[in-house]
Structure 1
Amino acid sequence: MRIKANDEQQFLEQVFVKRGFSTVNSQLLAETLVDADLRGISSHGIQRLAWYLRMVDDGTIQPQNSVKTLKESPTSLFLDANQNMGQIACFQAMTSLIQKAQKSSIAMAVIKNSNHFGTAGYWARMAVKKGLIGIATTNTRPLVVPTNATEAFLGSNAFAFTFPADPHPFVFDGATSVVSSGKIQVLAKNKQPIPGQWAVDADRQVVKNADEAEDLLATAAFTPHQKGGGVLTLGGNQEQNSNYKGFGNSLVVELLTGILAQGSISADTSVGKHDFSQFLMVIDPGFFGDLKQLQHDASAMFQRIRHLKHLPHTEIKIPGDREYRRYAENQQNGVVVDEQTAKELHQIGDQLNISVPHAVSNS
């Protein structure tokens, strides 16, 4: 079904407030989920709500805790999310980094003791809205099997990068694995098979059944070394297809997050203290030349790529094209909510005495 984005925002705000988050933080959390749904990134949208609330229930997320500043310089920031949601610390960090980069051309932040932070692209887009380059990364629970391994060790370790351009900014936002676990969750909820080589079992054999893959990921994330298997790195199952490059990309994120934060690497977030880490950076491209000219040059390059010769009945998309198109469409038609998530929303609404958004008619 589809629901109006405004209705989703209001519902989520009410839920988060009733679960102990401040009004301001509830608005932010709701906005990040709605934004993901509007962009067609349903894996990080409202379908995450039940998972978030379970982590509040078990104490993984502490809604009442405030973010702490551990260290700060004119170009750097080190924050302790204090076991609250990653979105809350990231908003504080990016707001500060934008101001720092506008003065010093570059600024970066590391966040420790954090949780899930929504889509990486949300934070990188905060910078590009100000004509700046934004970078955002995070580690996660252990879900990804390194090259030739048969058990999960790495996180899906999202990476986002933005650059000013027209008709919309360049926005690359993706996992350093073949997919994020959220996409497999969505398929499992809807009883749909996995379309590509996304996950493998303990024998490193490709898994097509989304329920089986979801079970493997749950085991990898919460009881590692018990069963084996997980999501593949970029490059797929075979070393001949250069999956060691995806492995390397994921390790870079581990170094910038868990290691720099002196927190847990992805492999250890499920066996001891649960603490994700994030790394954010903002760069002022105007330091290197006229911003309008740089934006024009980037836009011209993207247009040349879009108009390259290509296969019939296909189009060449620049990162961000699909999401901005979906954003406009879903603002008008409503965001898509799968059947299982709709059931979860009704259960949450009943428990908290909050009205669930009504479905809008199909367009």
Structure 2
Amino acid sequence: MRISAEAERQFLEAVFKAQQFNAQDGALLADTLVDADLRGISSHGIQRLDWYTRMMKDHVLEPTHQPEVVKETATSLLVDANKSMGQIASGFTMNKLIEKAKKMGLAMAVIRNSNHFGTAGYYSRMACKHGLIGISTTNTRPLVVPTNALEAFLGSNAFAFTFPAKPHPFVFDGATSVVSSGKIQVLAKKGEKIPGDWAVDENRHVLHDAQKVEDNLGTIAFSAHRPGGGVLTLGGQDEVNSNYKGFGNSLIIEILTGILAQGSLSADTNVGKHDFSQFFMVIDPSVFGDLDVLTANVSDMFDRIRHLKHLPGTKIMIPGDREYKHYDENLVQGVSIDDKTIAEMQAIGQAYGVPVPAAL
């Protein structure tokens, strides 16, 4: 079913208000989810609402809590999210980093005691709106099996990087695993098979049953029981395809987040504090040259790549192209929401007295 993006936004803001988020925080939370759905990243859109609601009931996150600055220098921040939603702490932090980077040329931050923060690219794009380079990362629940391992230890550990360009910013936003767990969750909700070699069982055999994988990931991520298996690192199943490089990328994110924050490793977020950590960096490219020249040069490079000889029936797309195309289309035709998520919205709407938007 499709609903308008504005109807989705109004529904979410009403639900978040009923859940005791203040108006500003509720609007930010709603915007991050609507933005993901508009860009075709449904794994991080409104389908996350049911999980967020359960986390509130379990007091893993507290709607009325606010982030606090623990330590600050001219170019750095250490922020305690204070069990607030990851989006709230991340938006707060990125706004401060943008101010610092404009003055100093570079700024970076670590957030501790945080939660899920939506799409990493959302915050990197905040920097890009000011002509700045944005870098955003997070650790997650334990979902990913290291090279040759039989059990999950790492998170999907997203990484986003943006750079000013035309006709739209360059936006790379992706997990350091083969895929984020949310994409498997969406396939399971739709009753569809996993199309690639994304996940393995306790014997490291590839699985394509999305519901079976989702059930296993849920057990891994939300209980102390570790049944084995999980999502593969970039590079997939075998070392011959350089999966150790994806493993290394995941470890870098783990160090920049959980280690620097002195918080939980992804492996330990399913027990104890249940805390995620985030790392952000903002760079002013104009310290190296005229921003207009840099933007023109990178835009020219992308256009040259887009027009390379390519396979018949295919199209060369730069990271961000697909998402901006989806955004423009979905603003007109509405965002697509699977039936199971609609049912979750109906249950949540009934609980908080908020009507579910009608289909377009």
Which amino acid in 2 is paired with 1:226? Answer: R
Aligned to 1:310: 310
Aligned to 2:15: 15
Taking structure 2 as the reference length, what is the TM-score of the superposition?
A: 0.99
- Asked if 2 retains the 8 angstrom alpha-carbon contact of 1:151 and 1:225, the reply is no
Deviates more, 1:281-290 or 1:14-23: 14-23
Work out the CA distance in 1 between the residues paired with 2:240 and 2:98. 41
CA deviations on 1:282-312 (whole Å, 9 max, x unpaired) are 0000000000000000000000100111100
SS in 1 for 2:280: strand
Aligned to 1:288: 288
Which amino acid in 1 is paired with 2:287? Answer: F
Work out the CA distance in 2 between the residues paired with 1:278 and 1:178. 20
Which amino acid in 1 is paired with 2:17? Answer: V
Aligned to 1:183: 183
Work out the CA distance in 2 between the residues paired with 1:165 and 1:105. 19
Q: CA deviation at 1:265?
A: 0.6
Q: CA deviation at 1:48?
A: 0.3
Match runs of 1:168-247 below 5 Å = 168-224=168-224, 226-247=226-247
Aligned residues: 360
SS in 1 for 2:263: coil
Aligned to 2:131: 131
- Asked if 1 retains the 8 angstrom alpha-carbon contact of 2:36 and 2:119, the reply is yes
CA deviations on 1:111-158 (whole Å, 9 max, x unpaired) are 000000010000000000110000000000000000000000000000
Same amino acid, percent of matched pairs: 66
Q: CA deviation at 1:224?
A: 4.8
Distance change >3 Å, CA 2–CA 43, structure 1 → 2 = same
Match runs of 1:7-86 below 5 Å = 7-86=7-86
Deviates more, 1:283-292 or 1:220-229: 220-229
Work out the CA distance in 2 between the residues paired with 1:190 and 1:41. 15
Which amino acid in 2 is paired with 1:273? Answer: K
Aligned to 1:355: 355
Which amino acid in 2 is paired with 1:4? Answer: S
- Asked if 1 retains the 8 angstrom alpha-carbon contact of 2:194 and 2:209, the reply is yes
Q: CA deviation at 1:180?
A: 0.4
Work out the CA distance in 2 between the residues paired with 1:99 and 1:162. 17
Which amino acid in 2 is paired with 1:160? Answer: A
Aligned to 1:250: 250
Aligned to 2:146: 146
Which amino acid in 2 is paired with 1:122? Answer: Y
Q: CA deviation at 1:225?
A: 5.2
Work out the CA distance in 2 between the residues paired with 1:135 and 1:258. 16
Work out the CA distance in 2 between the residues paired with 1:221 and 1:150. 15
- Asked if 2 retains the 8 angstrom alpha-carbon contact of 1:199 and 1:230, the reply is yes
- Asked if 1 retains the 8 angstrom alpha-carbon contact of 2:195 and 2:208, the reply is yes
Q: CA deviation at 1:272?
A: 1.5
Aligned to 1:267: 267
What are structure 1's unaligned runs of at least 5 residues?
none
SS in 2 for 1:148: coil
Which amino acid in 2 is paired with 1:296? Answer: A
Which amino acid in 2 is paired with 1:148? Answer: N
- Give the alignment's Cα RMSD to 1 decimal: 0.7
Work out the CA distance in 1 between the residues paired with 2:28 and 2:165. 26
- Asked if 2 retains the 8 angstrom alpha-carbon contact of 1:184 and 1:214, the reply is yes
- Asked if 1 retains the 8 angstrom alpha-carbon contact of 2:263 and 2:277, the reply is yes
Work out the CA distance in 2 between the residues paired with 1:225 and 1:202. 13
Q: CA deviation at 1:353?
A: 1.1
- Asked if 2 retains the 8 angstrom alpha-carbon contact of 1:219 and 1:227, the reply is yes
CA deviations on 1:164-203 (whole Å, 9 max, x unpaired) are 1011000000000000000000000010000000000000
Work out the CA distance in 1 between the residues paired with 2:51 and 2:138. 18
Which amino acid in 2 is paired with 1:68? Answer: E
Work out the CA distance in 2 between the residues paired with 1:23 and 1:291. 36
Q: CA deviation at 1:23?
A: 1.1
Aligned to 2:95: 95
Work out the CA distance in 1 between the residues paired with 2:343 and 2:274. 28
Taking structure 1 as the reference length, what is the TM-score of the superposition?
A: 0.98
Q: CA deviation at 1:220?
A: 1.3
Aligned to 2:324: 324
CA deviations on 1:321-349 (whole Å, 9 max, x unpaired) are 00000000000110010111011111111
Which amino acid in 2 is paired with 1:263? Answer: G
Q: CA deviation at 1:222?
A: 2.1
